[in-house]
Amino acid sequence: MKMKRFMALAMATVMGASLLTACGGSGGTTSTTTAAATEAATTAAAETTAAASGETAAETTAAAAEKTIEPTTITFWHGMNNKQEQSLTELTEKFNAENEYGITVELVNQGSYSDLQTKLMANAAADTLPDIAQAYNNYFTDYVDKVVALDDFVANDYPDWDDILESYRTENSEYGKITGVPFNKSTYLFFYNKTMFDELGLEAPKTWDDLQHIGEVILEKKGLAAIGYDSMCDMLEAALRQHGEQYVDETGALFNTAGGLETLEFIMNMYNSGYARLVGEDNYFSDSLSNGMIGGYVGSSTGVSYISTDIEGKEFELGVCPVVGDKTNAAYNAGTNIVMFAKDENNQKAAWEYMKFMTSKESTIKWAMDTGYLPVRTSAYESDEYQQFMAGDITAQAAYEQAPYGFVSKASFTGSNEIRNVVSTTLNELITEKADAQTALDTLVAEINDVLQ
């Protein structure tokens, strides 16, 4: 009897303790941050600014002096599987074997992107983030203060930052500091059934009018939708940008304008006329294209490996072209960056060596040729090696063609994640209801502003 009583009490205590821990989270963070700052301040005592921005000052001193890095192990959390993981492992093993400082990078597979995102979030709360990790900008909106600012590393110890594609540099600076280096980059392209297009006398589209024409012809002759978009929220933002409009920022929707209405007129007309259709249960249009059930679709360049062009009785030639622009070109970039969380100064320096290595011309070429991701450097695109590879790869050619027009959604404000979901859901509903452009515009604007209130 006493034993039961004790057990009941013990359980109650455990429950109570776990509640306390929840409240203690922020307290723990503060204390470690202070510790790190103190440490950095000691190292860079000579610097007058040390007290204000401890870590930054320490880095500047270190980079200016001769570089010394103690042998250490760096943990890298990633979400790469299959051949991507293979290539990543090969590159990392090369780095581990060849770097002169005795740095070992340990790769830790954390499942898929969403698993990685959850893990990072939990570890940010527990203050146990890895040294570096793959991340989209919207992963760390809530804990951007834990991301190491790389500005000084880039300024002092990165010979050719301008060689990195501009859209990637912009993306990695959106928080007002450099938060990462671009890693596994892809872009949205238009994949189409070239056999069908040739048969109907259609060319790869170049303008919105072309898209509409293709839609009319394919619907009339084949009874099929001509176009689909794997990601609806990215489709909307791309279309707005193509039409010279803005999308969303922390103040709310920015496209409640004449141009915004024109954009939605175009979009809703495509869907309401049956020229475009929703993806439905499949999630990706690659299967539809493989089965000759759609003329073409806009999807990630990495999705090309999921298109089968040789299903019995349905063989076709695949065509790939840049996403069609209107007043200007705009194509959605996807793929993560490598972000640093390391607190220890030596680990930061070591991690930086790895980040430099992974984004070097040589590495990014190998990575791109192995995996179908895109090189992150202009010089890599222009190298003989990659040009040769590109000659035999229509996806890479199209990606190269639209490289200057890449963009990503603004992620550096609270609610950006939710807006992505809300916009996708709302667009799906509007299209299912065959809403007119004005209703679509009003509904979208209202839903977006709702999130931010």
Partner 1 sequence: MKSTKPSAIIADIVKYVILIAGALFTLLPFVWMVLSSLKSANEIVQIPPTMIPKKFMFSNYAEAWAEAPFPRYFLNTVFIASVTTVGVLLTSILSAFAFARLDFPGKKIIFSLFMATLMIPGEMLLITNFITITKLKWIDTYKAMIVPWLANVFYTYLLTQFFSSVPEALYLAAKVDKCSDLKFLFKIMVPMNKNAITTVAILSFIGSWNSFLWPLLVTNSTNMRVLSHGLVRFQSEAGTKYQLVMAASCILVVPIIVVYLFLRKYILEGMSYTGVKG
Rounded least distance, CB 54 to partner 1, Å: 25
User: How far apart (Å, rounded) are the C-alpha atoms in residues 376 and 355?
Assistant: 13
Select from 110-118, 154-162, 317-325, 433-441 the region that touches partner 1 (CB under 8 A): 110-118
For 85-115, letters b (16+ CB in 10 Å) and e give eebbeebbeebbeebeeebbbebebbeebee
446 binds partner 1, rule: CB under 8 A: no
Binding mask of the shown chain, residues 229 to 268, with x at each position contacting partner 1 by CB under 8 A: ----------------------------------------
User: How far apart (Å, rounded) are the C-alpha atoms in residues 160 and 149?
Assistant: 18
305 binds partner 1, rule: CB under 8 A: yes
Cβ(283)–Cβ(299) under 8 Å? no
User: How far apart (Å, rounded) are the C-alpha atoms in residues 251 and 241?
Assistant: 18
Rounded least distance, CB 124 to partner 1, Å: 10
Rounded least distance, CB 383 to partner 1, Å: 25
Rounded least distance, CB 363 to partner 1, Å: 21
Residue length, the chain? Answer: 453
Rounded least distance, CB 51 to partner 1, Å: 30
Select from 79-87, 265-273, 391-399, 426-434 the region that touches partner 1 (CB under 8 A): 79-87
Question: Token digits for 309?
Answer: 């062009």
370 binds partner 1, rule: CB under 8 A: no
Nearest to 164 by CA among 152, 145, 178: 178
Q: Which is nearer to partner 1, 56 or 300 (CB)?
A: 300
How many chain residues bind partner 1 (CB under 8 A)? Answer: 56
The amino acid present at 344, given as its one-letter code, is D
Cβ(427)–Cβ(233) under 8 Å? yes
Nearest to 239 by CA among 136, 333, 327: 327
User: How far apart (Å, rounded) are the C-alpha atoms in residues 120 and 379?
Assistant: 33
48 binds partner 1, rule: CB under 8 A: no
Cβ(301)–Cβ(395) under 8 Å? yes
Q: For partner 1, which residue of 31, 32, 45, 111 counts as binding (CB under 8 A)?
A: 111
The amino acid present at 10, given as its one-letter code, is A
Rounded least distance, CB 22 to partner 1, Å: 4
290 binds partner 1, rule: CB under 8 A: yes
Residues that bind partner 1 (CB under 8 A): 1, 3-5, 7-8, 11-12, 15, 17-19, 21-22, 24-25, 75, 81-82, 84, 108-113, 115, 118-119, 121-123, 125-128, 186, 284, 286-288, 290-291, 293, 299-300, 302-303, 305-306, 308, 310-312, 314, 334
